[in-house]
A and B are shown apart, each in its own frame.
Chain A
Amino acid sequence: MSEAYNFAYLDEQTKRMIRRAILKGLAIPGYQVPFASREMPMPYGWGTGGVQVSAAVLTPEDTMKVIDQGADDTTNAVSIRKFFQKTAGVAVTERTSDADVIQTRHRIPEEPLREDQILVYQVPIPEPLRFLEPRETETRKMHALEEYGLMHVKLYEDISRNGAISTAYAYPVKVEGRYVMDPSPIPKFDNPKLEMAAIQLFGAGREQRIYALPPYTKAVSLDFEDYPFEASKADHACDLCGCDTSYLDEVIVDDAGGRMFVCSDTDFCRGRRAEGHIGAQGAPFEEDAA
């Protein structure tokens, strides 16, 4: 840990401001609390909101995990993990079950989270109505008046054009029957997992919003009686571990149309391969084979 930084990088006054926003967010599930987002030593779009929320909730005893689209070893995840190793001195892990705080970009881990865990989301556009109504003054009124007809029109237009609700990620949910919330760009496959035992915190740095879901909060994906919500995924099994219930990434493997499907959650996939599961194109698991 570097002595040149305050614990977890941010100054104490900033952390207090963020912590107060988190508490109000937890008290009003799904409501976006404005906060005075700081410049962070990384560009907007790289998780500055998630990083600030993580900095405000980390304690020195925590073990942290960072994932980007389910993977622990991508540039964004690696750099954020190193950032907190350096500025907070926290232990890090790639194992979901060993982590106290998990910062995520666009996925919920496959393994169910426990009550003592905290999931921090990086959010690009926190306002679910933003692409339908660009004016903040208007969307704020719409939330205040619980006027969400526009969102249902959008989903209806999906159906009339495509025959199904084509929204595949950032699929809006209604929280405790009150606020419509953007669950960040997670695939809609992950939406049913939003009702979980862990605390979920959402941070949008550029847009300066924090929101939260306390454990077991009801988050219902918007749909219609005749077109019910469906948590879809690629109709395939993982080619490495053979799992047919996990969310899959499609990987192009040559320039002749060859492709394979692999678990998006790298820790989940490695865990299954270590247990001896082998997919259609998988090889027996060897420690540190990657």
Chain B
Amino acid sequence: MQHAALSGGFSQAPQQSARAFRAAMNAMARPGTIQMVEGATPPAPMSVAAGVLALTLLDAETPVYLAGALDCAAVRDWITFHTGAPFARHEFCAFAIGSWDDLLPLQGYRIGTSEYPDRSATLIVEMPELTASGTTLRGPGIAETAALNLPDPALMARNAALFPLGLDFFLTHGDALAALPRSTKPEVA
């Protein structure tokens, strides 16, 4: 394990993870809003926001799947040291982290069962940009409509159609994050 993997975590884990979770919860409760987070400096190519989510939500109980460029020794060592999360193939993971293209196809991830829809994967999607514009969103947490630049609105709409089953998404870019739970219905032109 490289020495670099030992740094870049929270310096005050209880307080910083509490603030980070507040941002993550606000994002999940209000799809389309963009929240700023801080406190983690993960190795490239992982974004600060994805690093903060990893430190806040991952531990030994959550198998994680790293997709594509993120599946490198630096990121693996960093996640292992700071969270203890085991690595798993995508069909067994609780969390998956990667760019949209690397995470595809969505088939195979756990979408929960009709009796336990919560037993589903959460995908942390590293985005080239994150703006509150683009696809129109409707659903719980949204007063009228919201907007977000989704990577693939049609695929997200298909995921929403599985409700109450389905995948939940965090979208990350730099130190910003947004979320798209399965309950959100993206408008597909």
Contact = CB atoms under 8 A, between A and B. Distances in A.
A212 B183 CA distance: 13
A59 B25 CA distance: 12
A22 to B, nearest CB: 6
Interface in A10-44: 12-13, 15-17, 19-29, 31, 33-34
A5 B24 CA distance: 25
Nearest to A215: B141
B8 to A, nearest CB: 17
A213 B28 CA distance: 11
A26 B29 contact: yes
A141 B143 CA distance: 32
B25 A57 contact: yes
B18 A59 contact: yes
B76 interface: no
Contact of A214 (B61, B94, B141): B141
Contact of B62 (A7, A20, A59, A141): A20
Nearest to A22: B25
A222 interface: no
A216 B183 contact: no
A13 B25 contact: no
Interface string A162-181: 00000000000000101100
Main secondary structure of the interface of A (DSSP, over half): mixed
A21 B57 CA distance: 10
Contacts of B115: 140-141, 143-144
B141 to A, nearest CB: 3
Contacts of A155: none
Interface string B10-47: 00011101110110111011100000000000000000
Contacts of B181: 26-28
A217 B140 contact: yes
Interface residues of B, number: 40
**Most chain B beta-carbon contacts within 10 A, residue among A24, A25, A56, A216:** A24
A59 B118 contact: no
A16 B118 contact: no
B140 A214 contact: yes
B68 interface: no
A75 interface: no
B15 to A, nearest CB: 5
A189 B18 CA distance: 34
Contact of B143 (A7, A17, A57, A215): A215
B122 interface: yes
A216 B183 CA distance: 13
A8 interface: yes
B122 A15 contact: no
Interface string A111-144: 0000100000000000000000000000011011
Interface of B: 13-15, 17-19, 21-22, 24-26, 28-30, 56-59, 61-62, 94, 113-118, 120, 122, 139-143, 163-164, 168, 181-183
Given A8-B14, A16-B59, 5 more contacts: A12-B13, A12-B14, A27-B181, A28-B118, A61-B19
5 tightest A-B CB contacts, nearest first: A214-B141, A27-B181, A7-B14, A144-B114, A24-B118
